[in-house]
Chain A
Amino acid sequence: MNPFRYEPASDAATAVALLARAPNAAFLGGGTNLVDLMKIGVATPDPLVDVSRLPFNQIERLPDGGIRIGAAVRNSDLAADRTIRERVPVLAQALLAGASGQLRNLATTGGNLLQRTRCLYFQDLTKPCNKRTPGAGCSARDGYNRNLAILSTSEACIASHPSDLAVALAALDAVVHVQGPKGEQTISLGDFYRRPGDEPWRDTVLEHGDLITAVEVPPLAYATHSHHRKVRDRASFAFALVSVAAALDVADGIVRDARIALGGVAPVPWRASKAEVALRGAPATEETFARAADAELADAQPLPGNAFKVPLARRVIVRTLLDLTEGYQ
């Protein structure tokens, strides 16, 4: 590992100030991704500012019915939280589908959102990667890309976003609370992640020194009818080939509203807005669901190695919506 100084942060303002004056510094949360990247030389921060002990470890029920999740809340605690399990099952399921018990005990909410792609070339210093080294080139486009994105890719990068939690949060219209050198701000999850374009090294809109302090899940009555389904190469402890986080509001056999987000298929947690439009007001049938999936996936630009994701995503979307519809019968 590259040598670095370790600075435990006493409060958020100090943490932000420490980063603001050190262009190479990084925040440390649970470390499950960052420490790994430091070991393999992909990340070389100095100093490392530990924010995992900051007092952002509460899960609060808000008066309007929303839920505020502190950035330092561990993935395991969030998945086990009774309010989360009862009111937004999709969130608990997404968390439980991710990583292993050991990693969930370390990983934080804020850190989960900022984890980097697991594209093999991003993690291999001997191979060109535009996300790791601007302008170096992309090894994945003509290489091994089974795990990579089919939607909203660019010439420069086809990496997929690895988080399961972020997919559920995208479906729930979550809002990220940030404290940074320029003050506090809130960013909707839909605006939080950047599509790669010609700057794939910038995963999010955060500036250097911006610290996630909380994630807020706004109230959504029908989130009790929500579900996360993940398809992967192993039964457990693997990243998504395709995942779907969905919430469905059905009355008298008609879809009143729907939220759908996809994982494993895009450089960002992918909100399936076109599918949602196709669902609203339509009968809650398999035909509708398939049409909605097709509407979303029409823009896919698969490569030979990941073309299977188009029909797979279609089937996973349809199955998830059918399961949710059964909950209304």
Chain B
Amino acid sequence: MSRRERQNLGSARSSDPPSVATPVPMAVAQPRPGVVTVTLHVNGVDRSLTIEPWITLLDAFREHLGLTGPKKGCDRGQCGACTVLLDGRRVTSCLALAVAHQDAQITTTEGLGTQENLHPLQQAFIAHDAFQCGYCTPGQICSAVGMLCEAQAGWPSAVSLDLTANQVTLDADEIRERMSGNLCRCAAYANIVPAIQEVAS
């Protein structure tokens, strides 16, 4: 093997540091076209970031703000792993553009409780063993927080027998329907439902 061939082999390994002698294109920081300055109110703190308009709330949390609680599952609004609260309402943060939600008070799973003082739903999920791998859990819990507020406000669901009732009783069927936007690939539903039911009652 010639020296040149060895060099070429070596250069194919991305883990090698670039040679000092080799000019690296785009290595100099350039102003990115189209970036905007965005301020997000997350977990009680104002966070300023410079991002492209196509950055979703989910990517802003995970890639720019160091908040990796919200998870990227499907990235298409179908799995619920990225669920956070916008002004107290649960939404899938993968379908919300960060630039469009600067007026909202945002709560991620990191803002729900502390290590010493867990949110009642976090405590209930542990007590009921309501997860296996845990990937969907931050979304499940944020979703459950929003869902309990919706039920408190008397919002009916697709399985509510009386659409005009003032009070919602969260039995297992109601919880399953209202939480259908959160998938659990480990199928821990049998424990998720009782965990939420305990906090609801």
Contacts and interface: CB of A to CB of B under 8 A. Distances in A.
B181 A48 contact: no
A183 B153 CA distance: 39
B29 interface: no
Contacts of A85: 156, 163-164
A105 B86 CA distance: 9
The listed residue with most A CB atoms (<10 A of its CB), out of B89, B150, B164, is B89
A103 B181 CA distance: 8
Contacts of B156: 79-80, 85, 92, 96
**Chain B interface mostly:** loop
A100 B181 CA distance: 5
A93 interface: yes
Given A106-B96, A237-B181, A39 B158 contact: no
Interface in B57-95: 75-77, 80, 83, 86, 89-92, 95
A39 B164 contact: no
Nearest to B95: A35
B184 to A, nearest CB: 13
Interface stretch (A2-10, A251-259, A295-303): A2-10
Contact of A31 (B52, B80, B100, B147): B100
A8 B80 contact: no
A89 B163 contact: yes
Given A100-B181, A102-B143, A105-B89, A82 B164 contact: yes
B177 A236 contact: yes
A86 B164 contact: yes
A91 to B, nearest CB: 10
A261 interface: no
The 7 A-B pairs of least Cβ separation, nearest first, read: A100-B181, A236-B180, A6-B53, A1-B54, A237-B180, A96-B158, A80-B155
Interface of A: 1-6, 8, 28, 31-32, 35-36, 38-40, 48, 50, 52-53, 76, 79-80, 82, 85-86, 89, 92-93, 96-97, 99-103, 105-106, 235-237
17 contacts: A2-B54, A3-B34, A6-B99, A6-B100, A28-B100, A31-B95, A31-B100, A32-B77, A36-B77, A40-B76, A80-B155, A93-B163, A97-B158, A100-B180, A101-B90, A103-B91, A105-B86
